[in-house]
Amino acid sequence: MARFDPIVFSSWEGLHQENYLIAMYFMEVEASVDPVELGVEIAVDQTTGTWTAVPAETPEVRRHHMAKLIALHEVPNYEFEVPQDTKTRRYLIQIAFPTINFGPQIPMLLSSVFGNLSSRGWIKLLDLQFPRTFLESFPGPKFGIEGLRRLLGIWDRPILCNVIKPCTGISPEVGAELVYQAARGGVDIIKDDELIGDAPFSPMVKRVKEYMCRLKEADEQKGEKTLFAINVTDRQDKIRDNALRAIEAGANALMISFATVGFSMVRTLAEDKSINVPIMGHMNFAGALCESPCSGVSSELICGKLARMVGMDMVLVYPPQSRFHLIENKFERVVQILQQPFSKIKPSFPLLAGGVHPGIVPATLDSMGTDVIIGAGGSVHGHPGGAVAGARAFRQAFEAYSRGVDLEGWAQDKEELQQALGLWGTA
């Protein structure tokens, strides 16, 4: 193959763009490595070719199925000389993949753009840009931000979510009392911790029935609706059955750990017409895929685009202030991707959780706006006044923000908020 053979090199403008998606990679290699040869190797290896020529890789096969190297940029962008002491060089590479190779589904898509390539160690998949016709095959969220607000009847403030603590090891009866207290204090959504599923000490159906019974009491007392997102994470052949049994038992939302069960499993739930409740996606284990700065997959792609495409109405993302956290610009970008226009796919609600307390509410809302879900576990159940007081402290913080008043000043005659700020401080 010639060094710049048009069969593998093209401008984006020179392609029929509806037939390709663009994968963007970051790579750092030894200064002696030829980046052009490396880019071609990726385009060929991830589509039609292998390490040596094979007879059936015909010009026709290459024309229709080989990826195209459409951009190669060095960072910093040397023009006239490379410093003599340079040991490694960094590049952004864009490769266009024919969508005919994998069709509108995530497993073969990821195998194509990053399968074997992910094992090379020095390359990170930063982004995928999709043609509109490709995106139209994905359902996206059934509810999304507007639908969830309509379901809860909340239009002018953030949503408050609580995760039951302790994380695991408690019976349905003990958990139901915790659920009741949190909901009575003003929590809008209660979710299972990701560490409890259909457990012997807390069978899923029994847990749903116990929790929903107490939520009905709390809702009648506070005059508001509360959702309970039951964790249906399991082996794949049991997840849909878990969801249907939970809904039949009264669950009005689902939660699933998308990085462990896979994107297509979430899509299966989202596209199922018999599952008409909001789906919450938890990002646990996603850090194993995106933590490295020079390998793996970006959090923007894992927790942003793909999570939204497959139909998660709510996506848990770790904010910078939490114990498990993305750096600020990464976190902001993931939230933006979940909320911004994206073909016809509805926006997903970002759920901010992991060591969150009332003191961080003003700074968080200043940065993110009010189309977010604030997820609180220990700061509700660990409040000195109990879970009712813990939930009220958050609602008081929301009210202070909506009125544009100082949080500490507002807390002077709000005992629950005052206690929370005294224990955990402010951002």
Domain of 301, CATH number, reads 3.20.20.110
**Residue 33: how many CA atoms within 13 Å on its side-chain side?**
17
Known catalytic residue at 282: yes
Domain's final residue, options 79, 105, 135: 135
Question: How many Å separate Cα 195 from the centre of its chain?
Answer: 18
What is the C-alpha separation between 147 and 348, in angstroms, rounded? Answer: 10
Clarify whether residues 240 and 309 are in a common domain. Answer: yes
Strand 279-282 to 253-257 pairing: parallel
Q: Is 117 within 8 Å of 327 (Cβ atoms)?
A: no
Tell me which amino acid residue 14 is: G
**Alpha helix ranges (H) inside 167-301:** 172-185, 204-222, 236-248, 258-261, 263-271, 286-290, 299
Domain of 117: which CATH number?
3.30.70.150
Clarify whether residues 112 and 223 are in a common domain. Answer: no
Q: Is 355 within 8 Å of 322 (Cβ atoms)?
A: yes
Residue 221 domain-assigned (yes or no): yes
What is the C-alpha separation between 425 and 418, in angstroms, rounded? Answer: 10
Q: What are 415's two structure tokens?
A: 């005992």
Residue 388 domain-assigned (yes or no): yes
Q: Identify the residue whose tokens are 């401080």.
A: 425
Clarify whether residues 362 and 413 are in a common domain. Answer: yes
Clarify whether residues 235 and 154 are in a common domain. Answer: yes
Clarify whether residues 34 and 155 are in a common domain. Answer: no
pLDDT, position 259: 96
- To the question of pTM greater than 0.75 for the whole model, the response is yes
192-197-199 Cα angle (round to 5): 125
105 φ, ψ (degrees, to nearest 5):
-150, 150
Clarify whether residues 267 and 338 are in a common domain. Answer: yes
Directed axis angle between helix 172-185 and helix 387-403, to 10°? 30
Domain's final residue, options 74, 104, 135: 135
Clarify whether residues 213 and 192 are in a common domain. Answer: yes
Clarify whether residues 115 and 152 are in a common domain. Answer: no
Residue 1 domain-assigned (yes or no): no
Known catalytic residue at 346: no
**223 in the Ramachandran plot: left (φ > 0), alpha (ψ -120 to 50) or beta?**
left
**Residue 284: how many CA atoms within 13 Å on its side-chain side?**
15
The one catalytic residue in 68, 165, 346, 381 is: 165
Clarify whether residues 108 and 171 are in a common domain. Answer: no
Residue 5 domain-assigned (yes or no): no
What b/e string do you get for 317-328 counting C-beta neighbours within 10 Å, with b at 16 or more? bbbbbbeeebee
Q: Is 161 within 8 Å of 353 (Cβ atoms)?
A: yes
What is the C-alpha separation between 92 and 117, in angstroms, rounded? Answer: 15
Clarify whether residues 65 and 90 are in a common domain. Answer: yes
Total of domains in the chain? 2
Domain's final residue, options 118, 135, 152: 135
Domain of 164, in residue numbers: 144-424
Residue 216 domain-assigned (yes or no): yes
Clarify whether residues 218 and 122 are in a common domain. Answer: no
Contacts of 161 (CB under 8 A, 6+ apart): 187, 188, 189, 190, 191, 351, 353, 373, 374, 375, 376
Q: What are 341's two structure tokens?
A: 């226009």
Strand 68-75 to 88-98 pairing: antiparallel
The one catalytic residue in 191, 282, 381, 383 is: 282
Residue 3 domain-assigned (yes or no): no
Residue-wise pLDDT tens for the chain (427 aa)? Answer: 667 888 899 999 999 999 999 999 999 999 999 999 999 999 999 998 777 878 888 888 888 899 999 999 999 999 999 999 999 999 999 999 999 999 999 999 999 999 999 998 789 999 999 999 999 999 899 999 999 999 999 999 999 999 999 999 999 999 999 999 999 999 999 999 999 999 999 999 999 999 999 999 999 999 999 999 999 999 999 999 999 999 999 999 999 999 999 999 999 999 999 999 999 999 999 999 999 999 999 999 999 999 999 999 999 998 887 777 789 999 999 999 999 999 999 999 999 998 899 999 999 999 899 999 999 999 999 999 999 999 999 999 999 999 999 999 999 999 999 999 999 999 7
Contacts of 237 (CB under 8 A, 6+ apart): none
Element (H, E) at 133: helix 132-135
Residue 74 domain-assigned (yes or no): yes
pLDDT, position 256: 98
Clarify whether residues 233 and 111 are in a common domain. Answer: no
pLDDT, position 2: 67
